[in-house]
Amino acid sequence: MLGMVRAHLEQLQETLSALKREGVTRVAVSEENLARLRSAVARLQGKSAAAPEKSAEEISVAKKTPGSPAPGRRAEEISPDARPNPERPREPVVFPKISPQEKAASPAKPVPVKAPVAIGKPLPPSPEVVLPEGDKKTRMAWLRERVLGDPTCLEHVKPGKKLVFGTGTEDAEIFFCGEAPGAEEETEGEPFVGPAGELLTKIIAAMGLSREQVYIGNIMKWRPEMPTPIGNRPPTAEEMAFCLPFLRAQLEIVRPKVIVALGATAIEGLLGPDPGRRIGKIHGQWHAFNGIPLMPTYHPSYLSRNGTNRSKRVVWEDLLRVMEKIGLPVSERQRGFFLAK
Ligand code: URA
């Protein structure tokens, strides 16, 4: 029983951590649910159900901030773009259909754990990647071999799982960059093939493109390992530093017209750490990576969690800017996606 309580708390922890990475800073928790959380934490700690206020903070539930919450509710904004409204049922995220094989149901949510600061052995210094001469295909094939044979990368792959190099065309005009492979990705060896990937694929289709016409990569080439068989955590700074030369080399080969940085980790990896560079503030604004225009936007998993037309529109507007930048035709229908009727 306690195991289940712990699993639920860990799941909550991961959801909150993921929201935070996506730029969400506040969530709404009813007094009733807060009491349940306190009681659960107290049970785990072997204390009485009347645990101190601190218990809820320990599992990172929204910090109380000044304001006037609705009666019986700690109503905290998560962002102006994604206002949690517990009274309103969430709409599913629906981007235009792209193929009949899309899965009807998402796989069960993994049980998460708190992200540790560092896991496993310290990593060696970041590798130096010197690309050979040759055309894009030759260089990418060389880089793929280099990454998939890298002893440090290989050390971080669990038996039966795969490193995730990247996919798409070397001639892509748009390079989508995510955070790290998850469970589905390390099984397939391909980025964005799980639930977040399904959504990204729909977004790409809504732009009038296919996965084969763009390039999709990640900051990390391996799935950051967990002390449990399931769950995800964001990469540490050391892990990101180790993998970044590979991503930089991919970008050097592709030289896309635009990079789309999906979520806080991709933004930090490509633009460098900066606490002032919060995604809620900078998404939709052009940045640059090595002279390549870079558009920061929310990670697709943000849309899975905040599937309102409003949040979809926010991401879509960022992507309309990308389409305009590279001269992709934008139909009136596309321009109007997710606008309030
Ligand atoms: N999330 C990412 O950031 N990358 C993936 O490849 C899958 C999920």
Ligand 1 atom showing the smallest separation from residue 262 Cα? 3
Q: How close is the Cα of 109 to the center of ligand 1, in Å?
A: 15
Residue 275, pLDDT score: 93
Q: Report yes or no on whether pTM surpasses 0.85.
A: no
Q: Which of 188, 192, 221 to mutate to test the pocket of ligand 1 (most atoms within 8 A of CB)?
A: 192
Residues of the chain short of pLDDT 70, as ranges, are 1-37, 40-41, 43-119, 229
Q: Write the CB contacts of 272 (distance below 8 Å, at least 6 apart in sequence).
A: none
Domain parsing of the chain, residue ranges: 136-335
Q: Write the CB contacts of 155 (distance below 8 Å, at least 6 apart in sequence).
A: 121
Residue nearest to atom 7 of ligand 1 (CA): 192
Ligand 1 atom showing the smallest separation from residue 196 Cα? 8
C-alpha 334/C-alpha 53 separation (Å) is 48
Give the residues surrounding ligand 1 with Cβ less than 6 Å away. 178-182, 185, 191-192, 194, 196-197, 218
Query: Mean pLDDT over all residues of the chain?
Result: 79
- Inter-residue contact 41 to 55 (CB < 8 Å): yes
Question: Class assignment of domain 136-335?
Answer: alpha beta
Q: How close is the Cα of 197 to the center of ligand 1, in Å?
A: 7
List phi, psi (to 5°) of 311: -70, -35
Q: Write the CB contacts of 3 (distance below 8 Å, at least 6 apart in sequence).
A: none
Q: How close is the Cα of 155 to the center of ligand 1, in Å?
A: 20
Q: How close is the Cα of 191 to the center of ligand 1, in Å?
A: 6
Q: Between the CA of residue 125 and those of 198, 237, 244, 250, what are the distances in Å?
A: 34, 12, 11, 19
Residue 44, pLDDT score: 65
